[in-house]
Structure 1
Amino acid sequence: MPTLYHAPQSRSTSMLVLIEEMGIAEHIDVIDVSVARQDGSGGPDPRNPHPEGKVPYLTDGEDHVRERGAIVAYLTDRFPEAGLGRPVGHPQRGAFLSWLFYYQGVMEPVLVLDWAKIDHPALHATFRDLDAVFARLAHALDSQPYLLGEDYSAVDLLLSSPFQWIPNAMPEQPTLRAWIRRCADRPALKAVMARKREALPV
C-alpha cells in the first residue's frame, strides 16, 4: 500500500486534500511525522524516510516520490478512475504535466522569493515575477472556470493551494479570486480542514 508521510500544518496538507478528492483514502496509509519549522521548532523525524526530512513523501513498495507535483502525477496515474488527472494518451496530458511542473519550477519559487522580499534581475529572467505568474493564470482562466477547462482537476488543487493557506498572498484579479473561491468550495478541502480543526488541542 502506498504510504504518505505528512506533517500537520505544512504543504503536505494539500496531498491529504488530493487523497480526499480522489476518494482513495482506504488505499493510502498516512503517517504523521514532525519536520523542522521556520520558527525553529520541530526537527527531523526518524520515521520519515525522506532523504532531507521533508514532507510530503510517498513510498510505494520499493519506489518513492518526493515533491508535490510528482506525487500528484503519480497518484492520479495510479488511480486514473478518480478523474483528477490526465492519463498517458489523454489529449490534455501535456497541459496537465506542464501545469504541475510550472507550479514546482516557477510559481512556488516566485511566491517564496516574493514573501522573502528577495529581488534580482536574474530571478526575474529565470523564474518570472509575481505579476507574470498571476497574468499566466488569469490568461488560462479568462474563458473557462478551471485551468484545464470546464472540469476541476488536480492542477487546480495544487496551484490554488498556496492561497488556501496564505490568504494574504491572494492576487487582486477578480478572475483569479473567483477561481480560488471555487477551489476552496470543494467538499474535500472543507472535510480535511474540519478534521484538522477537530484534531487541535482544546
Structure 2
Amino acid sequence: MLTLYHGPNTRSSRIIRLLMEMEVLNQVEIRVVGLIRQGNIGAPDPANPHPEGKVPLLVHDGTAIRESNAIMLYLTDLFDSPMGIPIGDPRRGEYLSWLAYYGNVVEPVLVGKFAEIDHPAYFATFRGLTEMGQRLAEALADRPFLLGDRFTAADLIMVSAFTFAPQMAPDIPAVRQWIERCQARPSAAALQKHEAVLAAETPAA
C-alpha cells in the first residue's frame, strides 16, 4: 500500500504532479495533514508520521521515504515509469545528478536568497543564482528538456523551484522557454485544480 502525506500548495504538490504524469495517482492514498506554514501559521499534526512534521512523506508497506528527490526516484523506479531513467540507461547518472542537485544546491540557493544570507563560506559551498542559471542553460542549449526530448522527473523537480518563486527564474531565453514547455503540459493545469479542491476541503488551522 502506498500513502502520501500531503499539504496542498506545498513542496509535496510536485509529488502529486509526478503521480499525475505517471497516471498512477489513483494507486496512492493521499492523506492531507496539517502543517506549520510560513509565519508560524498552523500546528504540528499528530496524524503526520514525518519526524519533522513536514511533507511530502511517502509510506510504502510500512517503509517511510522522505525528501522530494528521494520520493521521486523511488516512485519512478517502483512504477518503471518513463518519467524516470532506469538502471543501465546511460542517462541514469545525469538523472540522479539533477535530482540530487535540486536538494543539495537549488533549495539552499533559493532559501539563502530569500533569507539574504551573505557569507563567503555559503557561496563557496552552494554558489548562487547566476551559477544555477548557467548549469540549466548549459543543459538546455541543444535539447528541450534536461535529459533530452522527454520530460522527466528531473524537469519536474527543477521547474518546481521557479513555479514556486518565478522571480528567481534565470533571465536566460533557453531556461525561460524550458519553463514554458514544462508548464504547458496538462499536468500543470491539472495540479492547480487538484490543489484548489484539496485546499477548499481542508479545515483552517
**TM exceeding 0.5:** yes
Q: State how far apart, in whole Å, the 1-side matches of 2:88 and 2:189 are.
A: 32
Aligned residues: 201
CA shift in 2, pair 1:27/1:84, >3 Å:
same
Report Cα offsets for 1:32-67 as digits up to 9, x if no partner: 001111111111111110001000000001211110
* Alignment-derived partner of residue 79 in structure 1: 79
Q: State how far apart, in whole Å, the 1-side matches of 2:57 and 2:197 are.
A: 24
* Alignment-derived partner of residue 66 in structure 1: 66
Output the TM-score relative to the length of structure 2: 0.94
CA shift in 2, pair 1:198/1:29, >3 Å:
closer
Q: State how far apart, in whole Å, the 2-side matches of 1:124 and 1:168 are.
A: 20
Structure 1 residue runs without a partner (length 5+): none
Report Cα offsets for 1:95-144 as digits up to 9, x if no partner: 11010000100111101101111111111111111100110011000111
* Alignment-derived partner of residue 121 in structure 2: 122
Deviating more after overlay: 110-119 vs 160-169: 160-169
Percent identical residues = 46
Letter in 1 for 2:184: D
CA shift in 2, pair 1:199/1:58, >3 Å:
closer
* Alignment-derived partner of residue 28 in structure 2: 28
Letter in 1 for 2:134: A
* Alignment-derived partner of residue 203 in structure 2: none
Q: State how far apart, in whole Å, the 1-side matches of 2:129 and 2:161 are.
A: 13
Report Cα offsets for 1:58-91 as digits up to 9, x if no partner: 00012111100000000000001x3100111111
Q: State how far apart, in whole Å, the 2-side matches of 1:4 and 1:169 are.
A: 28
What's the secondary structure of 2:9's corresponding residue? coil
Q: State how far apart, in whole Å, the 2-side matches of 1:198 and 1:50 are.
A: 24
Q: CA RMSD in A?
A: 1.4
Q: State how far apart, in whole Å, the 1-side matches of 2:6 and 2:157 are.
A: 16
- 1:195 is displaced (CA, Å) by 2.5
Q: State how far apart, in whole Å, the 2-side matches of 1:172 and 1:123 are.
A: 23
Q: State how far apart, in whole Å, the 1-side matches of 2:183 and 2:79 are.
A: 23
CA shift in 2, pair 1:28/1:199, >3 Å:
closer
* Alignment-derived partner of residue 187 in structure 2: 188
* Kept after mapping to 1: 8 A contact 2:8/2:199: no
Deviating more after overlay: 188-197 vs 142-151: 188-197
Give the number of the structure with larger relative contact order, counting CA–CA contacts within 8 Å between residues 6 or more apart.
Answer: 2
Structure 2 residue runs without a partner (length 5+): 201-205
